[in-house]
């Protein structure tokens, strides 16, 4: 954990009917002093959307060599690399070379379009890349749930995610910008 990081604990119950994955995760998240509540909660959402017993938080933006979250195989290869925000094209291409699957969760509203226009062509040959935009209103609702001790539930069915916590229900509005292509 980074010095001066604020520690958040979350009990996250995931019911992903699309993948037949049902589990409760006791998570510890370190929020760097420069990180916003929005980014913290999008990292937590990324965990919920891709929950797995081997998925873990990494050093993320503080490191060129690690994503925000990753899942490694039992032999140490990176199966899944997840970055949150608007990573630069070089970082994404490097991740696509190192991991079996790469996911970018972008959540910056209008600047998401500008970022995508800038990197789209350079990423067109990355056939293991998924880019998802999370709606700005959804991110604001998620940030309102931020608490040092959170109890959340996420239900996923037919590609639609709902997050419940502290008397709130949030429908996660997301748009797919890019999906993996078939290898020939």
Q: What is the DSSP string of the chain?
A: --TTPEEEEEEEEEEETTTTEEEEEEEEEEE-TT--HHHHHHHHHHHHHT--TTEEE--GGG-SS--SEEEE-TTS-EEEEEEES---HHHHHHHHHHEEEEEEEE--THHHHHHHHHHHHHHTT-TTEEEEEEPHHHHHHHHHT--SEEEEEEEEETTEEEEEETTEEEEE-EEEEE-PPPP-
Domain presence at residue 46: yes
In this structure, are residues 2 and 15 in contact, taking their beta carbons and an 8 Å threshold?
A: no
- Give the CATH number for residue 66: 3.10.640.10
> Domain span at residue 87?
6-178
Domain presence at residue 15: yes
- Residue pLDDT, tens place only, 11-40: 999 999 999 999 999 999 988 888 899 999
Number of domains into which the chain is organized: 1
**pLDDT exceeds 90 at position 8:** yes
Mean pLDDT of 57-72: 84
Domain presence at residue 184: no
Domain presence at residue 113: yes
Overall residue count recorded for the chain in this entry: 184
Q: What percent of the chain has pLDDT over 90?
A: 83
Domain presence at residue 30: yes
**pLDDT exceeds 70 at position 76:** yes
- Residue pLDDT, tens place only, 113-139: 999 999 999 999 999 999 999 999 999
- So what's the pLDDT on residue 184? 44
**pLDDT exceeds 70 at position 2:** no
Q: What percent of the chain has pLDDT over 70?
A: 94
- So what's the pLDDT on residue 60? 66
Domain presence at residue 183: no
Q: Which two tokens stand for residue 172?
A: 């996660």
Domain presence at residue 172: yes
Domain presence at residue 1: no
Average pLDDT, the chain: 92
**pLDDT exceeds 80 at position 61:** no
In this structure, are residues 167 and 160 in contact, taking their beta carbons and an 8 Å threshold?
A: no
- So what's the pLDDT on residue 4? 80
- So what's the pLDDT on residue 51? 97
**pLDDT exceeds 70 at position 85:** yes
C-alpha to C-alpha distance for 68 and 63, rounded to whole angstroms: 9
**pLDDT exceeds 50 at position 64:** yes
In this structure, are residues 45 and 172 in contact, taking their beta carbons and an 8 Å threshold?
A: yes
Sign of CA dihedral 142, 140, 51, 153: positive
For the full predicted model, state whether its pTM sits above 0.85.
Answer: yes
């Amino acid at each position: 954990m980074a010095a001066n990081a604020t520690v958040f604990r979350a009990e996250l119950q995931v019911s992903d009917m699309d993948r037949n994955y049902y589990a409760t995760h006791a998570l510890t998240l370190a929020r760097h002093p420069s990180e916003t509540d929005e980014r913290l909660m999008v990292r937590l959402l990324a965990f919920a959307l891709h929950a797995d017993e081997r998925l873990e938080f990494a050093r993320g933006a503080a490191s060129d060599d690690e994503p925000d979250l990753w899942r490694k195989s039992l032999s140490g290869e990176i199966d899944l690399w997840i970055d949150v925000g608007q990573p630069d094209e070089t970082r994404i291409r490097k991740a696509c070379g190192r991991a079996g699957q790469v996911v970018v969760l972008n959540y910056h509203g209008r600047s998401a379009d500008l970022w995508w226009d800038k990197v789209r062509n350079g990423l067109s040959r990355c056939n293991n890349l998924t880019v998802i935009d999370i709606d700005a209103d959804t991110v604001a609702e998620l940030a309102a749930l931020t608490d040092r001790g959170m109890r959340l539930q996420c239900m996923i069915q037919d590609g639609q995610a709902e997050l419940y916590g502290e008397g709130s229900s949030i429908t996660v509005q997301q748009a797919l910008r890019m999906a993996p292509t078939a290898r020939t």
